[in-house]
Structure 1
Amino acid sequence: MPGATLSPWTMSYFATALVCLVAGLALMISGFGYPSAPIDDPASLAVVHLISIGWLGLLFAGSLLQFVPVIASRQLQSPRLALPALLLTMIGLLLLLGGFLGLADILPFWTWALPAGGILLMLALAGLCWMVLATLAAARPYSLPAEFVALGCVPLIGTAVVGMLFTLPLSGLTDEPHLVSLVLTAGPAHAYLGLFGWMTVTAIGVSYRLLTMFLLSPERTRGTSRTIGWLMAAALVAVGCGIVLDGAGSPADWTLPLALAMAGLAVLLYALDIRGIVRERKRKAVELNVVASLLAIAMLIICFALFTVSIVVGNAAEMVMPIAYLFTFGWLTGLGLGQLYKIVAFMTWLEFYGPVLGRAVVPRVQDLVNERRAAAWFSLYFAATAAATAGLFFDMPEMVRGAALAQLAAVCALAFEFIQARRLAMVPAAARLPSGITARRLILPSFNGRSR
């Protein structure tokens, strides 16, 4: 597979992201932040950013470092920026969380914490965008996944800039009217840029390559795929216009609904594309990571179906948070965990068995995992996510916390499965590595192997 080199810091990104996910779920279970407090409460904002930046942001960043070279069939440009980007993200996130906890009177409030965190996060995301876009720029003609990933970098930059602007009035450094207006009105647009504009657009683009590869389906560009890209680009323009108007002090109520309508149509077309990819597959036995990905895509479709129904019956405001929860934990997190299950095993296989191909018995990638056991944990996770969404819909916070506890148990169990794969704990005895092969580190790069 062209570009199938090892990104040395990807496992560190994944491990840090999983720690943030576990911490975020644990805080929810304890009653800290949403749903025990309003979503705009500083404690809730801390949990939201721990999940969105710490978990999803690092997950997507680590995945891009590994898969952009595959998409572009090129070596990653400026790979030395990967470690500084990871460190800046973590320091910036900690400062951001400290600022929110200061606003909640849980920690001492330092005026500089929120802006400093925003600046460091902007620098980290700028480094990520540079690595991604510089790699893709050399890959002509551009493939469909490459175009989606490049498009996703635009709202990523927008998310970072808007978030940085938010920190100025929130920290009390300024009471400039335009920035205050931006904070009061542009929060939903900020979330849209991050969760849909960057993460969903990127996930859709990468899924075209991964699902066709895993299912052995023909890789071709459909007319619907191009339409999806244009709809998403138009939706991002609408959101951008809304943010500009919000900052100018004349909020426009039509921009975000228009963007959501175009996004919903794009998701419908995406579902048709996925249906075509599955029907055209040559591999009849579908692996667990694909099943988990398809379940996540189903939850994405359900999100927009629920949103449409809520508009028709007139309770859209009450449905925003349940849909957002399903979108975050059902679609983005479900897809992330499903693909991690395959990515971790595949990267481990490359790292350990790539150097001994042709010189020793080599297991299949599937031999590094236990699909039957992991399938139970994925089932628990998706069932718990649906239960938590129902709990939010019926305003039952205790039910939500109970479901979040089940989600946490499933995530911890899957993390254990990832560790077992890294340790080669399930490899058959006949395929054990020769004694001369030095075991690599679990999370950190070993620095003594070539990129393969």
Structure 2
Amino acid sequence: MILTGATPLQKTTSHRVVLPFYGYAALAFLLACLLLFFSSGAFQLHYFNPHTLAITHLMALGWGTMMILGASHQLVPVLVEGRLYSERLAWLSFVLAGLGIPLLVGAFYRFDMGWPALVGALLINLGLLAYLLNLGMSITHNSNRSPYAAFILVAICWLLLTTGLGAVLVLNFSWPLLEYNSLAYLPMHAHMGIIGWFLLLVVGVGARLIPMFLISKYTNTPLLWAIFGALNLGLISFILFTLCGHPLLLQIIPPLLVGAGILLFGYYCYQAYRQRIRRQVDAPMQVSLLSIALLALPLLLALLLVLFYAGDHNRLVLLYGFCIFFGWLTALILGMTFKTLPFIVWNRVYHLQCGRGKTPSPKDLFSERQFRAMAFCYGSGFIGFALGLLLQLPLLLKASAALLIAAAFLYTLNVARTIWHKPQRA
């Protein structure tokens, strides 16, 4: 099923629920790039410092999670061929998470784990609980038991576990609830979010959307279940070996399982690309496919961290996090935004005119020239900042962060242009 015309999208969520998530995420991305510029010196310090914590959580929650929440409210009903359970719950998740994120990020930036951090963490968890209930009911109320639904539902459970542990870690700064300090549990918290939430959900949704947008007939359900098992077993083994204190097993089994899952997903995407019917791949899809290749960078860095487990790995950890949030995840969102948002807005503006005359194509709702300029600034900024981190070059970090600001600004303008599109004839 291709997301063209009015029929598929009319069965799903109202644009009034979905579009605020896109707008919020765009502004969060712009703010994160501004913080990256003004706090670039923090990336020459230890990775556990207030400014890097604030930027990381703004990227993870304000940018990545809010964008995924908005898109999944629209796309999950299409994937399971049903309807969203409740638009009120969708609004509730937006309001609660949208209020909680700035409170938590601001608290990290000041490193004040008082009431703003606690209230922010509580609001975020309540918002995500509403999201879990909404998407869970949407999936279980439909007869479609595809692997895509399993990926999404389990990913949401991992998200709630991640944010729940995050709230406990915030409390642990003031009240010693855990055996060790919060820093000791940070790798577990981070990888529950990275692998359990982002990677699992991206694989589940991407396995459906990438062939769909490429107009590819490729599908391989047994391979998807193998990927599902490898990623979940890898994450579960990581948590167990971390808690039980088995460093040797921790360095071998989880990386092998997660690495196998990523490589199998790369193979899946390659086969979908090779068997595509649409030979010409547009710019947003090129950026989305690039994000799959960018997964190789954190995978390589994770291998290096395993090999040099006992050494000074601060620089590698910073680069690892940067490659995940500003590399793989950001490239994916930059591309997929302009494969999904134009269809949502087109359906809002033109669905009543469908079949009554010519209307613009969804791709005409955003500026491709502006998109290409954004992609150039983003690619240059990402490569430059990664090199600046690796070589510890302050001027390169500043210049590259400025390029990322330009990319975020162009992206936000293009999102606004698409959302505020007015009816016109082609």
Does TM-score exceed 0.5, indicating one fold?
yes
| Equivalent residue number for residue 436 of structure 1 | none
Q: Is the aligned partner of 1:205 residue 2:204?
A: yes
| Equivalent residue number for residue 362 of structure 1 | 359
Deviation (angstroms), 1:209: 1.1
| Equivalent residue number for residue 239 of structure 2 | 240
* 1:333-348 equivalences in 2 (<5 Å): 333-348=330-345
Unaligned runs of 5+ in 2: 2-6
* 1:284-303 equivalences in 2 (<5 Å): 284-303=279-298
CA offset digits 1:86-105 (Å, max 9, x no partner): 111122223223433443xx
Deviation (angstroms), 1:32: 6.3
CA offset digits 1:301-338 (Å, max 9, x no partner): 23213433565577782422212211111110110111
For residue 105 of structure 2, the aligned residue among 84, 97, 109 is 97
Deviation (angstroms), 1:222: 4.2
Q: Is the aligned partner of 1:77 residue 2:85?
A: yes
Distance across 1 between alignment mates of 2:364 and 2:126? 40
Tell me if the contact between 1:33 and 1:41 (Cα under 8 Å) persists in the aligned partners.
Answer: no
| Equivalent residue number for residue 139 of structure 2 | 136
Tell me if the contact between 1:88 and 1:123 (Cα under 8 Å) persists in the aligned partners.
Answer: yes
Q: Is the aligned partner of 1:64 residue 2:72?
A: yes
Q: 1:423 to 1:391 in 2, by over 3 A?
A: same
Tell me if the contact between 1:377 and 1:414 (Cα under 8 Å) persists in the aligned partners.
Answer: yes
CA offset digits 1:65-93 (Å, max 9, x no partner): 11111111111012211122111112222
Tell me if the contact between 1:189 and 1:256 (Cα under 8 Å) persists in the aligned partners.
Answer: no
- Which amino acid in structure 2 is aligned with residue 265 of structure 1? A
Deviation (angstroms), 1:255: 6.4
Distance across 1 between alignment mates of 2:119 and 2:363? 44
* 1:48-63 equivalences in 2 (<5 Å): 48-63=56-71
Q: Is the aligned partner of 1:38 residue 2:42?
A: no
Q: Is the aligned partner of 1:169 residue 2:163?
A: no
Same amino acid, percent of matched pairs: 25
Unaligned runs of 5+ in 1: 104-108, 432-452
- Which amino acid in structure 2 is aligned with residue 82 of structure 1? A
For residue 319 of structure 2, the aligned residue among 316, 319, 322 is 322
Tell me if the contact between 1:27 and 1:33 (Cα under 8 Å) persists in the aligned partners.
Answer: no
| Equivalent residue number for residue 23 of structure 1 | 31
Distance across 1 between alignment mates of 2:388 and 2:321? 13
| Equivalent residue number for residue 224 of structure 1 | 223
Distance across 2 between alignment mates of 1:196 and 1:275? 21
CA offset digits 1:324-382 (Å, max 9, x no partner): 21111111011011111122211111110111112232222122233244223213212
**Partner SS, residue 28 of structure 2:** helix
Q: 1:162 to 1:430 in 2, by over 3 A?
A: closer
Tell me if the contact between 1:289 and 1:341 (Cα under 8 Å) persists in the aligned partners.
Answer: yes
When you count helix as a share of all residues, which structure comes out higher? Answer: 2
State which drifts further: 91-100 or 79-88.
Answer: 91-100
Q: Is the aligned partner of 1:404 residue 2:408?
A: no
CA offset digits 1:226-250 (Å, max 9, x no partner): 211100110221233256x2xxxx6
- Which amino acid in structure 1 is aligned with residue 260 of structure 2? L
- Which amino acid in structure 2 is aligned with residue 175 of structure 1? P
| Equivalent residue number for residue 118 of structure 1 | 121
For residue 127 of structure 1, the aligned residue among 97, 116, 130 is 130
Q: CA RMSD in A?
A: 2.3
**Partner SS, residue 363 of structure 1:** coil
Distance across 2 between alignment mates of 1:164 and 1:194? 13
Distance across 1 between alignment mates of 2:126 and 2:285? 34
Count residues with an aligned counterpart: 415
Tell me if the contact between 1:37 and 1:44 (Cα under 8 Å) persists in the aligned partners.
Answer: no
**Partner SS, residue 284 of structure 1:** coil
Deviation (angstroms), 1:251: 4.1
Tell me if the contact between 2:255 and 2:303 (Cα under 8 Å) persists in the aligned partners.
Answer: no
Q: Relative contact order (alpha carbons < 8 A, sep ≥ 6): 1 or 2 greater?
A: 2
Distance across 2 between alignment mates of 1:20 and 1:260? 31
For residue 157 of structure 1, the aligned residue among 155, 160, 169 is 160
- Which amino acid in structure 1 is aligned with residue 231 of structure 2? M
Tell me if the contact between 1:323 and 1:389 (Cα under 8 Å) persists in the aligned partners.
Answer: no
- Which amino acid in structure 1 is aligned with residue 32 of structure 2? G
Q: Is the aligned partner of 1:13 residue 2:21?
A: yes
Q: 1:308 to 1:424 in 2, by over 3 A?
A: same
Distance across 1 between alignment mates of 2:34 and 2:214? 36
| Equivalent residue number for residue 308 of structure 1 | 303
State which drifts further: 194-203 or 39-48.
Answer: 39-48
